[in-house]
Structure 1
Amino acid sequence: MTRRFFYILLTVALAMYAGMASAQQLSLGQISQYLNQLQTAQGGFTQINSDGTLSTGQIYIKRPGRIRFEYNPPDESLVMAGGGQVAVFDPRSNTGPERFPLNQTPLDIMLRQNVDLSSERMVTNQTYDGTATTITAQDPEHPEYGNIQMVFTANPVELRQWIVTDDLGTQTTIILNDMTAGGTIGNILFNIRAEMRKRGQD
């Protein structure tokens, strides 16, 4: 009984140690390295809108500079970034997407060619809750563009969710699920003009 009790204690201790080892605060260097190595990824997402409503869909990321949100019914909108532009397609409109420069949005921080979160005034806040590391970043030259709050877990480092606060103070939360990094994603998914032609808007 004594030996069995010892093994039980040892198993519990090892499990606790493993849990503690997997939960660690990430440095800005580790997070920057993770983002720079993340070339492609895809999976599902849940979006919490500023009015509290929920949307779901599929997300495709191809760094640098490309991201695509395909929204499930009943929304069925499409948001994509490519060629330095962000385009918002409304399925109820035939006049083409609303477009604006990617570098004037907080998403540009995550999608740029070289992410260096340790640069001066890039990160305005960093916290750790015992499970995840959360950083808030903004363009130091243009804080008026808003900011992005990204949540990461460790071992392995993974991006779990982000909150974008735009230039009007509106917040949108994206929670990632079943994300798979790597693999081939065609550039056509991020081609705004090709999407316009597909919709008869070109």
Structure 2
Amino acid sequence: MSARTFAFLFAAPALVAAAPVQAPVGDLAQVQQHLQSVSSMTAGFSQTDRNNRVLTGTMTLKRPGKIRFQYQKGVPQLIVADGSSLYFIDYQVRQVDRWPIGNSPLAVLLNPKRDIAKYAKLNPTSDPRVVSIEVHDPAHPEYGRITMIFQKNASAPAGLMLQGWVALDSQNNRTTIKLSNQQLNGNVSDGVFRWNDPRRQGPRNR
């Protein structure tokens, strides 16, 4: 995985059925309500990049502004947002890349106060149980775009459960994220989003 594509992480295209039927407009408001109702999430994830390389790990989210992608053992990389910036840390080459959170479509997951109606649209699906929204900033195409997939679930906040997303960067490189074993609104310590800087300390266990 390159630093260019790290900030754009998405749900399996298979979750969106092939024959399009326009989703109800009210679903966008339901997504907004869901995002505002979820303060934290932990989940397993499976990431597939443009070369069909698959990595797994654990995602931890705490709103506003914090997320961590802890990769499987043996992958010397880490993605963390600490509330203001999104970092890609490569412990093998002792490199850290930083982006402002607002410069990534992933910001839609991190800031529940943003009005998604201003920069998101519903994608058609043929399954009434699936809600798909595409997020991008027309003023900044270099930020890429993210399509989030939700499954309708009466027991979940606002009746939706995030299943994952598909991200496309400005070079049309696709990254797919599928979530599993989602746990919502649990107690998550801010310490989860701290990380060791390899530029000062060298490669080590995170």
Are the equivalent residues in 1 in contact too, given 2:32–2:112 (CA < 8 A)?
no
CA deviations over 1:71-110 (Å, ceiling 9, x no partner): 003324111111321111112123x412122211110122
Structure 1 residues 56, 102: closer, same or farther in 2, change over 3 A? same
CA RMSD of aligned residues (A): 2.2
What residue is the counterpart of 1:88 in the other structure?
88
> Is 2:198 the counterpart of 1:182?
no
Match of 1:163 among 161, 166, 171: 166
Question: CA separation in 2, counterparts of 1:183 and 1:124?
Answer: 29
What residue is the counterpart of 1:142 in the other structure?
140
What residue is the counterpart of 2:120 in the other structure?
123
Question: By how many angstroms is 1:199 displaced?
Answer: 7.2
Question: By how many angstroms is 1:182 displaced?
Answer: 1.1
Structure 1 segments (4+ residues) deviating >4 Å: none
- Relative to its length, the structure with more helix (as a share) is 1
Are the equivalent residues in 2 in contact too, given 1:86–1:102 (CA < 8 A)?
yes
Q: In structure 2, what residue type is equivalent to 1:77? A: Q
Question: By how many angstroms is 1:145 displaced?
Answer: 1.1
Could you list the runs of 5+ residues in structure 1 that have no partner in the other structure?
A: 1-23
After TM superposition, the score normalised by the length of structure 1 is: 0.77
Could you list the runs of 5+ residues in structure 2 that have no partner in the other structure?
A: 1-22, 155-159
CA deviations over 1:30-88 (Å, ceiling 9, x no partner): 00110111110102000011111100000000011111000003324111111321111
CA deviations over 1:179-198 (Å, ceiling 9, x no partner): 1001111112223xx53289
- Give the greater-gyration-radius structure (CA): 1
Identity in percent? 28
What residue is the counterpart of 1:98 in the other structure?
97
